[in-house]
Amino acid sequence: MPPPPLVPLREDGSSATFLLAASRACGWIYTVAWSASFYPQTLLNAKRKSVAGLSIDFAFLNTFGFLCYAIFNLAFFASPTVRRQYRDRHDGRDNVVQINDVAFAVHALVLTSVTAFQTVLYRRAPGQTSSKAIRLLLAVFSLIVLVTGLICIITGGDKVGTGKHAPLEWIDFVQILSTIKLIITFIKYLPQMMLNYRRKSTLGWSIENIWLDFTGGIFSLIQLFIDSAESGDWSSAIGDFSKLGLGLISIGFDLIFFLQHYAFYGPVPPLVQEDSPAAEEQEDEDSDTPRRTGSEERTRLLAGDGNDN
């Protein structure tokens, strides 16, 4: 028997009104915060007409991750088959994906796609490109999604609905998407974190998007636990592992970026040399930093001085 809800139900069995209101408020707060978090970096890139200081690996991992996340949320929200298969595996309980989850995921996919396109459109630092390892990883993920999706399409992906044997059901497919999103969420920050470390600078990386991401992560977890407390079903928090894991991982990396920006480096000119192995991270000054004249820049290059101090 599941444990009773933390807040007693009314006599008619309905939930406490303030819990429902709190859940919805948290949901829209995190939706707005996370959705807004994609704009600072995109606007910074557009303002500078450059993506120097932004990890190309991060941009493309982010886009693919949110493609998986958008499909995951849309499937749970709009597919009766997926919801039924989830209930069959979780003692008749529904997944707690809500409309704000769908709104966030689709919006995130659009904005991350714009940022990825900016890495193609705008000026990069010399040698700045994506790594072979990340390109290979994205190819593997794409193959997994394609193969598992085709299996579900060919077999029907629904043992109960079709009455046929299905090696994979649609619920398995969306859970695979969830797992890929979680893996990407963890590793996508590593290239940017290492980029900031090698450059000893966060110039070109918007700290505003980190503050908004941090706020969204906190309220996402609050909503998840409110929903679980209201229903008395704490397994739903684990069942929605994509949302739980996404929030925890994002908050952890946000704290690292806060340290890099406010304690270790800051938005200062990078310290790598243009002819060093880290040349791909070399940053041109943004519009807030006084620019050198052409003769000063040529003199610096001829002298082999890679420091921007």
Cα gap 16→87, rounded to integer Å: 24
Average pLDDT over residues 106-133: 92
Q: Is the pLDDT of residue 301 over 60?
A: no
* Chain mean pLDDT for the chain: 80
- Structure confidence at residue 307 (pLDDT): 45
Cα gap 171→158, rounded to integer Å: 9
Residue, of 274 and 13, whose pLDDT is higher = 13
Where in the chain are the domains?
Answer: 17-303
The answer for 104, left when phi > 0, alpha when psi is -120 to 50, beta otherwise, is alpha
**Cα 16 to chain center, whole Å?**
32
Q: Give the CA diameter of the chain.
A: 81
Q: Is the pLDDT of residue 280 over 50?
A: no
Q: Is the pLDDT of residue 285 over 50?
A: no
Q: Is the pLDDT of residue 57 over 70?
A: yes
Q: Check: CB of residue 181 under 8 Å from CB of residue 108.
A: no
Q: Check: CB of residue 130 under 8 Å from CB of residue 280.
A: no
Write down the residue that tokens 């193609």 correspond to.
120
- Structure confidence at residue 73 (pLDDT): 94
pLDDT band at 243 (very low <50, low <70, confident <90, very high): low
Residue, of 158 and 76, whose pLDDT is higher = 76
Identify each DSSP E strand in 21-177 by its residue range. Answer: none
Task: Report the predicted TM-score, pTM, of the whole model to 2 decimal places.
Answer: 0.74
Q: Is the pLDDT of residue 232 over 80?
A: no
- Structure confidence at residue 248 (pLDDT): 82
Residue, of 15 and 16, whose pLDDT is higher = 16
